[in-house]
Copies of this chain bind each other. A is one copy, B any other.
Amino acid sequence: MAPILTNSAEAIVSGQRDDLENGIVRVKNPHLASMTEDFLYHFDLGTKTHNLQAMFGDVKFVCVGGSANRMKAFAQFIHMELGLNGSDSNIMDICAGTDRYNMYKAGPVLSISHGMGVPSMSIMLHELIKLLHHAKCCDVTIIRLGTSGGIGLEPGTVVITGTAVDSFFQPQFEQVVLGKIISRSTELDKDLAQALLNCGNEIADCPTIIGNTMCTNDFYEGQGRLDGALCSFSNEEKLEYLKKAYKAGVRNIEMECTVFAAMCHSCDLKAAVVCVALLNRFDGDQITTPHEVLLEYQMRPQKLVSMFIKKQLGLLKYN
């Protein structure tokens, strides 16, 4: 196992100590301060072409998810839930100049798509964290709202990630930097997870638990599915692996949580992962649940996170 780079092991760059004290989102890159321009290529936004502080300075919550349609729907939903002025149908894609990601803003909430898999999430997060830093955003909470495969759960169960683990059930994110493997901690904010669980428990028909979430780099072989174009293992071997995962506390599998947890942790961003399980992998591999039922499942993380945001903003009381 590669050494774990803890926050304290990474240099706190001059000037960033101030950022930490006043809650401004930090970057962990000493080179950034000396750049005369920073163009966020995959957002089609830049420090010279856009007034990022005016556009994003009031952001307090960033919600991210794989699907562009889902994140647009979430922006419209939270716009309505927060009782913001104007029609939710007027919410425009801020990244319309590129088709890599979609970004929507509803008051203090930013809603962004990140595509599928660790690399796609990682590009988005690099540019998002820089954007929040350039915009001098303070005290930001970031939540991934996703879909996942459940292990030993009723389909439709919402899993709030306790610990994000890799395919070996380890709480780490390994990455190659300049030809060397480095490993980062995937620690998530425990208080935030508990606050989200409490919200889930208040919503009718929204079974919610805290459990470990496994992140894989492949949906088929990588998650022990028997129905990909390639498969070289038996049903028994698959079930043995899923049982081992269950025993290690894994309750759902998706494809982004480790890099999300690691990068947010490195930059001291409060982060959580809230995914609904679309199926129970002990029962099969294919997602055959009717479309309307899947849509209702996908609304559950949105409702839960909306309740959390409303409570944080004082629009709803804590029980």
Residues of A within 8 A of B (CB): 5, 10-11, 27-32, 35, 37-39, 41-42, 66-69, 99-100, 115-120, 122-123, 125-130, 133, 167-168, 175-179, 216-222, 224, 226-233, 235, 237-238, 240-241, 244, 255, 263, 266-267, 286-288
Contacts and interface: CB of A to CB of B under 8 A. Distances in A.
A267 B69 CA distance: 33
Given A39-B288, A177-B222, A231 B28 contact: yes
A67 B100 contact: yes
Contacts of A99: 67-69
Contacts of A229: 27-29, 125-130, 133, 263, 267
What 6 pairs across the A-B complex have the smallest Cβ distances? Answer: A117-B119, A129-B229, A29-B231, A167-B176, A178-B241, A126-B228
Given A67-B100, A125-B229, A227-B32, A241 B179 contact: yes
A121 to B, nearest CB: 8
Contacts of A122: 117, 217-220, 222
A230 B119 contact: no
A168 B220 CA distance: 25
Contacts of A216: 119, 176
Contacts of A127: 229
Contacts of A167: 176, 179
Nearest to A233: B178
A267 B230 contact: yes
A28 B126 CA distance: 37
A255 B38 contact: no
Nearest to A69: B99
Given A41-B286, A117-B119, A230 B29 contact: yes
